[in-house]
Structure 1
Amino acid sequence: MLYWLMKWVLLGPLMRVAFRPRVEGAQHLPRRGGALVASNHLAVIDSFVLPLMVPRRMSFPAKAEYFTQPGVVGTLKRWFFTGMGQIPIERGNGRAARAALDTGIGVLREGRLFGIYPEGTRSPDGRLYKGRTGVARMALEAGVPVVPVAMIDTDKANPVGSRFWRPHRIGIRIGAPLDFSRYHGITDDRQVERAITDEVMDAIRVLSEQEYVDVYASTAKKEQEAPEAA
């Protein structure tokens, strides 16, 4: 109930006025059944715009801290992120990463849409970076298709370092689902996981028309921060 209130009454209408989003290829989202929605990641606002603008309800992972903060502010944050359909995920060590994957797989097996950013973090400069293989593991273990998505100009509506959103037209391009059933039964094969991930990233690249960089975004961020720190 809260999700639909956010989508159609509270936040969704405001976003439609402020950002005038163009949604292309919505027909590619499966009408029913689980699917992994893999998107590029330009800005924090991506996690709000995408689930509010697609026809089906969609969940995204969010830091567990958003749901556990005490006090009135914490209650409001918990209410807001729950209403946005976001699911708390612990971040940190390998065990936390595995738990995050399991959470997403559980959502997919329930026949729902689950969003993921294969880059792992926001792009530091608007380019598309190498994907993490978690997207492949989830698709294989849940047995679902991967729907590639490109967010367009969300970094202009929500610039890095800015606490405020700015009115700017944005776009969402949704590609045809990628079927990886040919790999059914294969698990813990790094070559297969890398091949699937690269195929997903190439589909996102075509949709977004971004320049592709064959390194992880987190690595690029560290390299950029090192000279500044020095």
Structure 2
Amino acid sequence: MIDLDQYIERVARSAGKYVDLTDYAAKVLGDRYANGDQTVVECVDFRRTMLAVDDRDTLKWQLQLGFFPVGLPADVQLGGYAFAAEVASAILKLRMRTACAPYRRTDPLFSGSPALWSSVRDGELIDFAALTQELGSEVVAVPKGFGKIADELDPALVEWLRRNNPTSPFFVRLAPDRFYNQKPPMMLTEAVIAPGRFDALMKFDMYPGQREYGEYVLQKDALDPEESSAVDRL
């Protein structure tokens, strides 16, 4: 069995490997556990031996998620969810360091788009005049490719500033570790016309003559330029 120092090192290494993770850490690590990934199996086994009462109380609800094989003993599954939580925490810290770090010419964003470096201000922002925001999304066109607005900055705010202050200079933060030769998919966004009742959705509680409903419009081109807008009425 691995020791504590090895476990800490593997948590850090896993966080670096999955720093761009968009899925639940527990799901990704659970799948790797099921596939026999030795690093994950050893970390889960070690974390199982370190479970405390607080771990059990905090994590027991996650057993119903089924991300780790449900045939495993409950303690092994809890060890998996504890390991996944620590990897997720380490990923968040890495992302925050990246989000706040001064730009460097060696960042993927500037390696892919060297001309963009001349638009950097104070080592941490970029002149919006050098960018073209794609349909109000987080995706922006840069010289020779595409980048993304930093996760901590709402792209809707950037679009509002551009629309309402077209002649005023302003600066934005782009993610330094993201550059794409082709336009990447955009985040799925929606406009809430009428919010649905969550408990009704969970129970599928609908009946003739019901006056409650929810209406959401998926923004046109939110995922792909070829996608058409869609409307769901609940």
Is the shorter-chain TM-score for this pair beyond 0.5, marking a shared fold?
A: no
Tell me which of the two structures has the higher relative contact order, counting C-alpha pairs closer than 8 angstroms and 6 or more residues apart: 1
Instruction: Tell me the TM-score range normalised by the shorter chain.
Output: under 0.3
TM-score by length of 2: 0.22
